[in-house]
Structure 1
Amino acid sequence: MSDEHRPFYVLLGPDGAGKSSVMAEVAARLPGWRTLSTDHGLVGPGYDLVSALRRHVGEDVLPHLGTHYSVDFLASMLQTAVVHLKDELTRHADDVPLLMDSYYYKILAKCRLAGIRHNPMYTWWRSFPQPRAVVYVDVSPASAWRRSGNGTRLNPLEYFGERPEWLGFESYQTSLRKLMLEEVRDLPVTIIEEQPSAARAADAVLEVLAS
């Protein structure tokens, strides 16, 4: 089966939208589906390196961005996640529907917001197989800010400025949403408005996938 006919969908959304919780709900309630993510706890067995690289980005690279490490180095580290998702898609069985977390869309948007406006990697990423559809789980910056403990659980790739403050977070998340939706503008996109819980968001996602 060719890539364009693979049963392949992408779950997208801003920081704090609860995508990981939705992915877990989908995995539990749609046993015939496969979920794919690089988030902690959702990476499949045998891929400890993927989890370790993600952890090192947060613990080692981001705290020293602009001093020890450049934004180009950061983009190179983030690309490992993108390539992992692409490789897993290539190996994926054609007859099993797949829900993938964010794909390259969110990472590309975050790289652009970090100051890397143009990079040859972007052209390569955009040449990857495209999903049948994107399900965008939305959340307002205000709700996402509360879910982050009013900024206490944020990393530097989730806000503008030297420290997590509301205005920098709101501006970053607004820009992130714009860039992600711009990246998938030529694909079928269903936007799920903010839900009161991950379970309700999962219900909405399941309804879209079933249709």
Structure 2
Amino acid sequence: MDLATGHPPFCVLLGPDYSGKSSALDQLARTTPQLCFLSVDDTRLAPEHALIGRLRRNVVKDVAPHRGAWSPEFLATLLQTAVVHLRDQLLRTDAGTPVVVDSYYYKLLAKCRLAGAGGSPLLAWWRTFPRPDRVIYLDVPPETTWQRSRQGADLNLLEHYGPRPDRDGFRRYQTDLARAMRDEIQDLPVTVIDETGPLEPTAAAIREVLTHEFG
């Protein structure tokens, strides 16, 4: 653990919806067991932390479809459970184990901004959380991620503009999401990986960055 900061060294893997982060993390976890991988994906949550997954699903199911019934700050409050969980898990990680965090707070913060909660003091608090040594950004164009979403069939209401998914609403939302995320990480060391091809070369490129960063 870095005694000056109180947390182990860590990098963040970031990218738009359907950028391939989860698949890359799964590949890296199989081939780089010396690293710790933190995510709020259901497959990476311990049984005692299953509440985090249920809350995320309920946000999509119960809050996003009825935004007029809930304030943007309420949405941010629910999403904060995932953000604080990642921070807590990071601070509990063994001192000698470098960490890779899936999205950290940056993606959820960007989504909260797009939902209208940009002025919430919750977001200002998130920005005080430990800063990563590096952000690895998977830069995937909306045209590619639209195909990966099965032309919108797999989308939820926090992944596109409009009441129903269509190519234009998805493209505009993902463009704004990418802009908001890049705005949040502009003062951090960032490595951009163009991710449009097979999983293995992408995972290899990420692994190379992590090896250089962690030594």
TM-score w.r.t. structure 1 length? 0.95
Tell me by how many angstroms 1:5 deviates: 6.6
1:152 aligns with 2:153: yes
1:32 aligns with 2:34: yes
1:98 aligns with 2:99: yes
> Partner letter of residue 16 of structure 1?
Y
- Counterparts of 1:5 and 1:87, CA distance in 2: 10
Which of these residues, 2, 12, 16, is aligned with residue 10 of structure 1? Answer: 12
Q: How does 1:42-121 map to 2 (within 5 A)?
A: 42-67=44-69, 69-121=70-122
Tell me by how many angstroms 1:60 deviates: 2.1
- Counterparts of 1:43 and 1:5, CA distance in 2: 20
2:14·2:107 contact (CA, 8 Å) conserved in 1?
yes
State the number of aligned residues. Answer: 210
> Partner letter of residue 172 of structure 1?
Y
Work out the percentage of aligned pairs sharing the same amino acid: 49
Tell me by how many angstroms 1:115 deviates: 1.5
> Partner letter of residue 73 of structure 1?
F
1:134·1:190 contact (CA, 8 Å) conserved in 2?
yes
- Unmatched 5+ stretches in structure 1: none
Do the aligned partners of residues 178 and 4 (structure 1) sit closer, same or farther apart at CA in structure 2, a change above 3 Å counting?
farther
- Counterparts of 2:156 and 2:6, CA distance in 1: 35
- Counterparts of 1:154 and 1:122, CA distance in 2: 25
> Partner letter of residue 60 of structure 1?
D
Tell me by how many angstroms 1:204 deviates: 1.0
Do the aligned partners of residues 5 and 58 (structure 1) sit closer, same or farther apart at CA in structure 2, a change above 3 Å counting?
closer
- Partner SS state of residue 31, structure 1: coil
Tell me by how many angstroms 1:178 deviates: 0.8
After TM superposition, which residue ranges in structure 1, 4 or more long, deviate above 4 angstroms? none
2:7·2:91 contact (CA, 8 Å) conserved in 1?
no
Tell me by how many angstroms 1:26 deviates: 1.1
Tell me by how many angstroms 1:116 deviates: 1.6
- Counterparts of 1:100 and 1:165, CA distance in 2: 30
- Counterparts of 2:88 and 2:138, CA distance in 1: 25
- Counterparts of 1:200 and 1:45, CA distance in 2: 32
Root mean square deviation of aligned Cα:
1.3
Tell me by how many angstroms 1:4 deviates: 6.7
Tell me by how many angstroms 1:163 deviates: 1.1
